[in-house]
Amino acid sequence: MQDFTTFICYRLKSTMKRVEKHIGSALEEYGVTMAQSFILFSLLEKDGCTLTEIGNRAQIDNSSLTTMVDKLEKEGLVERRLFAQDRRVVNLYLTEKGRELGLKVYNSGAEMNAELRTLLNGCEEEFYTNLEGISRIMDQNKA
């Protein structure tokens, strides 16, 4: 029997768990989680997105997204606004406090990304190609 810790899925999960732990500890000083930071980044890119747009961009399920946005709103970082043409649609906007925090968190994330790129030592494109290949295979198996 093959040792399950040599399975590709195990190694991917194990590595991602380490990455999340590293990023999580760096984000503690800002009071946001990695997923919440992705919401802030989405709004930095395009303020006024719908929750569906943010969820798709940040790869966050709707059920989790609502809870995260509630917390960000309670902290005064984002605000919900009804879309004038269709009051069923809610758009999310950064507050000034949210924009400032989002930029700080983004800069911290960019530093971590630079560290990871250095560790890849010139193999970044091959790494991305392999990740995309794995994703494509998983999507094909879902259908």
pLDDT (0 to 100) of residue 87: 72
pLDDT (0 to 100) of residue 82: 83
Rg (the chain; Cα; Å): 18
Cα–Cα distance measured from residue 126 to residue 70, given in angstroms and rounded to the nearest whole number: 39
The string over 73-91, giving b where at least 16 C-beta atoms fall within 10 Å of a residue's C-beta and e elsewhere, is eeeebbeeeeeeeeeeeeb
3-state secondary structure of 47: coil
Q: Which residues of the chain have pLDDT under 70?
A: 143
pLDDT (0 to 100) of residue 143: 58
Set out the domains of the chain in order of their start, with CATH numbers. 4-142 (1.10.10.10)
Please say whether the beta carbons of 79 and 73 come within 8 A.
yes
Residue 68: HSE in the Cβ half-sphere, 13 Å Cα cutoff = 21
pLDDT digits (tens, 9 = 90+) for 89-113: 889 999 999 999 999 999 999 999 9
